[in-house]
Amino acid sequence: MPLLIKGGRIITATDDYTADVYCEGETISRIETDITPSVLPAETEVIDAVGKYVFPGFIDPHVHIHLPFMGTNAKDDYESASKAALAGGTTTLIEMICPGPDDEPLVAFNEWNDKASPLAAVDYTFHMSVVRFDERAREQFRQIVNEHGIASFKVFLAYKGALELGDADLFAMLEFAKELGVITTAHCENAEAIDAMQRRLIAQGKTGPEFHEPSRPVGVEASGVNHLASFAELTGAHVYAVHTSCADALRAAVDARIRGVNIWVEAVAPHLVLDETYAQKPGFEGAKYVMSPPLRNKSNLDVLWNGLRAGYISTIGTDHAPFDFGTQKSMGRDAFTKIPNGIPSVQERVDLVHTFGVITGKIDLNTMVSACSTNAARLFGLYPRKGAVKVGSDADLVVYDPSCEHTLSVESSYSKVDYNAFEGWKVTGRASAVTVRGEIQARDGEFVGTIGRGRLLKRPPTHG
């Protein structure tokens, strides 16, 4: 069905103007000052966007949906995660495929894709984790890139004995990524240092959630960014530091960029609005806020917002990793090392950024769009199909009511987890209509779309 979005204020990464947007099939076909509905096909649906913003569909470049981790599995599937994403204005998800070191990469890709394909209501793609890099795995990675269009890798400089990639393999993998033109996303810490500090803290009887951050302090994250940047400098690879949480890590990335290293930085919503005091809540309540890298001292929040405004940080994701408080986080009651990591936020991200970033003046609307949509599209081979309001782009659009006040809660969330990290928070701004390739998938925070309509997005390597 054709769709006309009329009278909205179109906000992109660079532009701000009022116009009508007409969508035919799955793409944007016209953007004009005044498109008269009476001359359009009779079946055209018209959305009145006067007084509202029209954004390109938002892209979350870092989510976990199917995630075997620490003896359990994340709660969401692609149906619940898609609904949550769409209710919050996100139309494209990039999920991390995280196999174990004994798993075959191609089998893992098929497993993750098979779980997404029948249930996704958003378009989606993947970052392929490299946790083993022998010759057999190398050829499978080549196939995953060339035949399936997965043009980004993921490495972990953390999780000793599970997901960690050793230095020899890391160096060889970055050379391989450079050869393929693939960007490598990286969790930047130091697995050996964390393991030693965790053992020491547990031996001292410091077992609660509040000791998660001291076990992986800012210096560990900064050293991980330095390590990644050094290897990228030596190999010429393009790299992307995920969920950067603190001033020291950001400074390491900026210093590397000044040297000419091809490095980009991601922040995630929890690190922008939460601080370490949440993980220090009394009893075991802090377990809800355990993620890695951990929540930091409050002083780092302004550093991250300033980094976004200055362009040092390119994207805002979520690291959405949904684990129940009652049945899964509770696995770590006797030791914080057993708490599954993650703060779910795929539904809340955009409204949090608008409320605590734009309305407060920390960033402007163009920066919000670039960080939550366009930069991810550019970095990961989706632009201008995604992340743009252009003729010929996919009709992924968000009509956003900037004055809508609502309250975040577990009851209004589509995620399957039993808590909301932002329970009771009052936010301003909400997606009033969300389209994926021209079809309305959500209205006023409610999913109204079609499960299974989402497509795997094949992406060309763009980082040669």
Residue ranges covered by each domain of the chain: 59-379
**CATH number listed for the domain at residues 59-379:** 3.20.20.140
DSSP annotation of 341: P
**Mean pLDDT, rounded, for 194-212:** 97
**Mean pLDDT, rounded, for 335-354:** 97
CB-based contacts of 330: which residues, under 8 Å, 6+ apart?
Answer: 284, 287
pLDDT reported for residue 202: 97
Quote the distance between the C-alpha of residue 295 and its chain's center. Answer: 17
102: how many CB neighbours lie within 10 A of its CB?
A: 7
Q: β-pairing, 90-97 with 16-24?
A: unpaired
- Classified as helix, coil or strand, 6 is strand
Q: What is the pLDDT of residues 82-133, one digit of tens each?
A: 999 999 999 999 999 999 889 999 999 999 999 999 999 999 999 999 999 9
**Mean pLDDT estimate for the chain:** 97
CB-based contacts of 303: which residues, under 8 Å, 6+ apart?
Answer: 246, 247, 250
What's the maximum distance between 2 C-alpha atoms anywhere in the chain? 75
Tell me the pLDDT band of 175, cut-offs 50, 70 and 90.
Answer: very high
pLDDT reported for residue 164: 76
Tell me the pLDDT band of 165, cut-offs 50, 70 and 90.
Answer: confident
Q: Structure pTM?
A: 0.97
Q: What percent of the chain has pLDDT over 70?
A: 100
Q: What is the pLDDT of residues 52-89, one digit of tens each?
A: 999 999 999 999 999 998 788 999 999 999 999 999 99
* Phi, psi angle pair for 411, to nearest 5°: -65, -35
Q: Residue 398: name the closest of 29, 49, 19, 130 by CA.
A: 49
Tell me the pLDDT band of 411, cut-offs 50, 70 and 90.
Answer: very high
